[in-house]
Amino acid sequence: MQWLRAAGTLAGASVVTSLPDVSELPALGFDGWLRWFDEAAVLTMQSVPDEGVAIFFQSDVNRAGVWVDKGAMVARAAERAGMVMLFHKIVCRKPPGTLTYGRASYSHLLGFARVLRPTLRRATPDVLPDGGVQPGVKAMGVLACVDACRFVMTGTTTRTIVDPFCGWGTVLAVANALGLDAIGVDLSARMCKRARRLSVTVGR
Ligand SMILES: C[S@@+](CC[C@H](N)C(=O)[O-])C[C@H]1O[C@@H](n2cnc3c(N)ncnc32)[C@H](O)[C@@H]1O
């Protein structure tokens, strides 16, 4: 968050990220995490330049029988940040039809922009049947990252992907494999080291 504030507008870049779950920030408590998530989502979107997009990969959680819809949370933050939704995709984490008893079998992949509007001729599927390999438990799937990076490549002039909560560095590695520059930031120095080491192969 400090890095985002200091960086200001990320000229020439789009953001592809996945904000941490409440389980990753236990010291905040649930209500504190809700406020933190909202602030982080708004700040992230405000950092995106007019020529870029903000893409979020988020997985819902179930707390004692109550679903916490992170797709809706990011969408509400976008309204406050002055952005509109360009797409909302569902990424399957398990084959459709799998019963998972309160663990979301899907993730949301949501794209937002202030100015850009995509051409529907370049539309890609709304449901990704397989998000791809996840380098870590809370990591994004490689195929979901490919989808997000390709959207940036075809729908924007930005050629740098920023992930301010980069974790294992999945989207950074995918961006580099597709020929894009990538900048990752994480509170954990250990995750930053991991992210630097990650490399993936993707078909162009
Ligand atoms: C959901 S994981 C990101 C996973 C990543 N997108 C990937 O594919 O590997 C969230 C990351 O946010 C980091 N994090 C938590 N709080 C943070 C903060 N205040 N600033 C930056 N990073 C933070 C955690 O260390 C964790 O690596």
Does ligand 1 have an atom closer than 6 angstroms to the CB of 188? Answer: yes
Give the dihedral of Cα atoms 87, 57, 28, 61; nearest 10 deg.
90
Does ligand 1 have an atom closer than 6 angstroms to the CB of 191? Answer: yes
Does ligand 1 have an atom closer than 6 angstroms to the CB of 103? Answer: no
Q: Which residues contact 27 (CB under 8 A, 6 or more apart)?
A: none
pLDDT tens by residue, 118-171: 998 889 999 999 999 999 989 999 999 999 999 999 999 999 999 999 999 999
Mean pLDDT of the chain: 97
pLDDT tens by residue, 182-203: 999 999 999 999 999 999 999 8
Residue 58 has pLDDT above 90, yes or no: yes
Radius of gyration of the chain (CA): 16
pLDDT at 107: 98
Instruction: Map out the domains of the chain with their CATH numbers.
Output: 2-197 (3.40.50.150)
Q: Which residues of 69-103 are buried (b: 16+ CB within 10 A; e: fewer)?
A: ebbebbbebbeebebeebbebbbbbeeeeeeeeee
Residue 86 has pLDDT above 80, yes or no: yes
- Cβ pair 204, 178 in contact under 8 A: yes
Among 165, 166, 191, 197, which is best to mutate for testing ligand 1, by the most ligand atoms less than 8 A from CB?
Answer: 165
Closest residue by Cα to atom 18, ligand 1, is: 187
pLDDT at 122: 87
- DSSP-derived pairing of the beta strands 160-163 and 13-17: parallel
Query: What whole-number distance in Å separates Cα of residue 174 and Cα of residue 177?
Result: 5
Give the Å distance between the CA of 186 and the centre of ligand 1. 6
Closest residue by Cα to atom 7, ligand 1, is: 139
**Percentage of residues in the chain with pLDDT exceeding 70?**
100
Query: What whole-number distance in Å separates Cα of residue 200 and Cα of residue 17?
Result: 17
Does ligand 1 have an atom closer than 6 angstroms to the CB of 138? Answer: yes
Assign 204 a pLDDT band (cuts: 50, 70, 90). Answer: low
pLDDT tens by residue, 14-52: 999 999 999 999 999 999 999 999 999 999 999 999 999
pTM of the model: 0.97
Assign 92 a pLDDT band (cuts: 50, 70, 90). Answer: very high
Q: Which among 38, 35, 124 has a CA at the least distance from the CA of 81? A: 38
Mean pLDDT of 170-182: 98
Closest residue by Cα to atom 27, ligand 1, is: 167
Structure tokens at 36: 């933190």
Q: Which residues of 124-133 are buried (b: 16+ CB within 10 A; e: fewer)?
A: eeeebeebbe
Structure tokens at 63: 């707390």
Give the Å distance between the CA of 188 and the centre of ligand 1. 8
